[in-house]
């Protein structure tokens, strides 16, 4: 990499840090290209990204951002998983690390809050934003559904009673 390519890489990383909600630092110890590609595909499906980066360039890029706390985690062969949704990148990285022993979760940051590996695992266990929205909509719709059931229940009971009398008359 020449100097201008390094400057472009730092600018791209810095722009990424400005728009993401979470950054997960992973250590990839001997992952194959196929495994890395599979992880990237899973990240992309979840709305996240996975990028292998040079430690020195990443340290320069995090300077002046909320993610400056991850600078101490940047040792060895690292890669950064990031997403705008605070849960997506952590969830995919933790799930992939469970099935692949060559990917290790080092830690990360959610804004200025620095998280260790256990913090990232706890973050991954939380429901995603879409799941929370679905639960909220279900809670809002539940009372209306129950009211509709209560309103139609007496008419259904009357119909069953009339049906029973009709069967008695026929017998």
**Domain that residue 162 falls in:** 127-171
CA dist 60 and 40 (Å) reads 24
Q: How many domains does the chain have?
A: 2
pLDDT score recorded for residue 93: 92
What CATH number corresponds to the domain at position 15? 3.30.70.1730
pLDDT score recorded for residue 30: 84
Q: Could you tell me if 9 and 69 lie in one domain?
A: yes
Residues in the chain: 171
pLDDT score recorded for residue 135: 86
CA dist 78 and 25 (Å) reads 7
pLDDT score recorded for residue 25: 92
- Per-residue pLDDT of the chain (171 residues), as tens digits, is 788 888 888 888 888 888 888 899 999 888 889 999 999 999 999 889 999 888 888 888 888 888 888 888 888 889 999 988 888 889 999 999 998 888 889 999 888 888 888 888 888 888 877 788 888 888 787 777 777 776 777 777 777 888 888 888 887
pLDDT score recorded for residue 95: 92
Residues 6+ apart with CB under 8 A from 158: none
pLDDT score recorded for residue 164: 84
Q: Could you tell me if 68 and 133 lie in one domain?
A: no
């Amino acid at each position: 990499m020449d100097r201008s390519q390094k400057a472009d890489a730092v600018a791209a990383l810095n722009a990424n840090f400005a728009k993401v909600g979470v950054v997960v630092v992973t250590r990839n110890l001997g992952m194959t290209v196929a495994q890395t590609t599979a992880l990237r595909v899973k990240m992309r499906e979840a709305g996240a990204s996975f990028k292998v980066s040079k430690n020195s360039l990443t340290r320069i890029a995090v300077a002046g951002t909320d993610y400056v706390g991850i600078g101490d985690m940047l040792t060895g062969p690292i890669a950064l998983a990031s997403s705008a949704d605070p849960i997506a990148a952590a969830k995919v990285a933790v799930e992939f690390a469970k099935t692949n022993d060559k990917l290790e979760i080092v830690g990360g940051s959610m804004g200025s809050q620095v998280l260790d590996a256990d913090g990232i695992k706890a973050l991954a266990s939380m429901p995603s934003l879409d799941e929370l929205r679905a639960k909220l909509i279900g809670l809002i719709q539940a009372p209306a559904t129950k009211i509709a059931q209560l309103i139609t229940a007496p008419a259904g009971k009357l119909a069953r009673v009339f049906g029973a009398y009709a069967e008695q008359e026929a017998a």
